[in-house]
């Protein structure tokens, strides 16, 4: 392999690593923002409990969402969470974290992770 090819591949690898780093940084910032929101919400709930303006939830047998024909709120939220996770996976996760393959083939080794460490 010529020196120019090596330099071109090195530049391409650096560009890809910069892209991955920026995507990961965006995800970290989003996670920090969500953690901040959850902290604020927890403080609001704690304050409402301490002040006494929180009302207890009705017993599960008396709640409307306990009917067999209706989906419970928790399962609906869980489905929405799974849907968002599936949509987020299209945001370069496999590019950032790989698919279990080793990069050896790119450098002439040709072994995947299982063959190498298997």
Q: What is the pLDDT along the chain (118 residues), one digit of tens a residue?
A: 899 999 999 999 999 999 999 999 999 999 999 999 999 999 998 998 888 887 777 777 776 665 554 555 556 666 776 677 666 655 565 666 665 555 555 555 554 555 555 4
36 and 44 in contact (C-beta within 8 Å)?
Answer: no
End-to-end Cα, the chain, rounded Å: 30
CA–CA separation, 93 vs 110, rounded Å?
Answer: 23
**Three-state secondary structure call for residue 2:** coil
Retrieve residue 41's tokens.
Answer: 């919400």
Retrieve residue 73's tokens.
Answer: 């709120």
CA–CA separation, 51 vs 106, rounded Å?
Answer: 63
Output the pLDDT for position 67: 56
* Domain-wise residue ranges, the chain: 1-56, 61-118
CA–CA separation, 39 vs 35, rounded Å?
Answer: 6
Element holding 84 (H helix, E strand): helix 73-89
The CA-CA-CA angle for residues 16, 17, 23, to 5°, reads: 90
CA–CA separation, 63 vs 70, rounded Å?
Answer: 11
Output the pLDDT for position 49: 86
């Amino acid at each position: 392999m010529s020196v120019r090819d090596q330099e071109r591949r090195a530049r391409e690898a650096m560009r890809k690593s910069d892209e991955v780093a920026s995507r990961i940084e965006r995800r970290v910032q989003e996670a920090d923002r969500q953690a901040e929101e959850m902290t604020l919400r927890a403080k609001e709930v704690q304050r409402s409990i301490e002040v006494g303006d929180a009302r207890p939830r009705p017993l599960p047998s008396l709640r409307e969402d306990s009917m067999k024909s209706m989906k419970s709120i928790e399962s609906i939220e869980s489905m929405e969470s799974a849907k968002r996770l599936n949509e987020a996976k299209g945001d370069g996760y496999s590019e950032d974290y790989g698919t279990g393959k080793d990069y050896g083939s790119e450098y002439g080794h040709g072994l995947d992770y299982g063959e190498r460490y298997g």
